[in-house]
Amino acid sequence: LFLVGIVLYQRYGETFLRLTLYAINFTIGVQVLASFVYRTGSRGSIFFNNPNQLGYFALLAACVIVLLHWRLRLNLIVTSVMLASCGYLSALSASRSALGGIALLLALLVFSNPRVIIGVVVAAVLLLFVGGPVANAVDAAENRVRNRHSNAGFFEERGYDRIWEHQEYLVFGAGEGGLSRFDGDRKFRMEIHSSAGTVLFSYGIIGATLFLLFMWRLMRGAGWRLMIVLVPPISYAVAHQSLRFTLLWVLLAIFVVVKHERAGARARPASVARTPDPRLIRST
């Protein structure tokens, strides 16, 4: 998906970016409207399989919107409304990691684009006046952040303890699946609930090093203003399984596109038109 996104940009240019943004905005709008119809208990999931998926979608969508707001010079009001809607969906899911990621993204934006934050705050206040599901979502998220029902520590709860309990897999990894091999685990043979932990345990130090090399090459040369957009998804990956989510790889592809366009804009005269760089895939 990562390479497909880059190839589509090379072929269709800005049209691909705008269609991606329209599709994400449309999906967010449908989810928000559906939340007033579908009630699924204290934690909403709407059309997703579980609340964590809804929360992670909202977080990734917010990151894509921020990137494309810079690249496409979008209307501030539209961007603010969509970011506020992402915040509402994350509150509806009551996912602590998604809520923390959205809050972190907005906090980081204070230093790079404070006008967006002002617009988001205004849009969020207007959403609160709607009441109903919006107020309920805020209350549910607040209660879940305050109350933890697990007595286990973070590393045990997320399954990190499997790494040091089975150190024989540290170098080459244990591979995916076959959880019956870990009979002594207290996780009822569940996978590690963390992307970072899964990469290290399933693919070992060798695989984790290759993955870190990929991420380093992906972010190399990007300014801090771009890199802060990836901080919330990376933080989310510490506590959740996130690498299988399609929108994550779309986000990474758009990140590379924006990074290379900015680098190209600094290298060429202002009078030269912006065109997709055919060397984009090779440099990534």
Torsion of CA 68, 73, 76, 77, to 10 degrees: -80
What is d(CA 168, CA 101) in angstroms, rounded to the nearest whole number? 34
Q: Which residues in the chain show pLDDT less than 70?
A: 39-42, 126-155, 157-158, 183-189, 264-284
pLDDT score of 15: 95
Q: What angle do CA 56, 101, 189 make, to 5 degrees?
A: 50
What is d(CA 47, CA 38) in angstroms, rounded to the nearest whole number? 9
8 A C-beta contact, residue 195 and residue 237 = yes
pLDDT score of 150: 57
pLDDT score of 114: 76
pLDDT score of 252: 96
186 burial (CB, 10 Å; 0-12 / 13-18 / 19+) is: exposed
pLDDT score of 175: 86
Q: Which residues of 105-119 are buried (b: 16+ CB within 10 A; e: fewer)?
A: bbebbeebbeebbeb
75 burial (CB, 10 Å; 0-12 / 13-18 / 19+) is: exposed
pLDDT in tens, 109-135: 877 777 777 877 777 776 666 555 665
What is d(CA 97, CA 172) in angstroms, rounded to the nearest whole number? 30
pLDDT in tens, 234-259: 988 888 888 989 999 999 999 999 99
pLDDT score of 56: 94
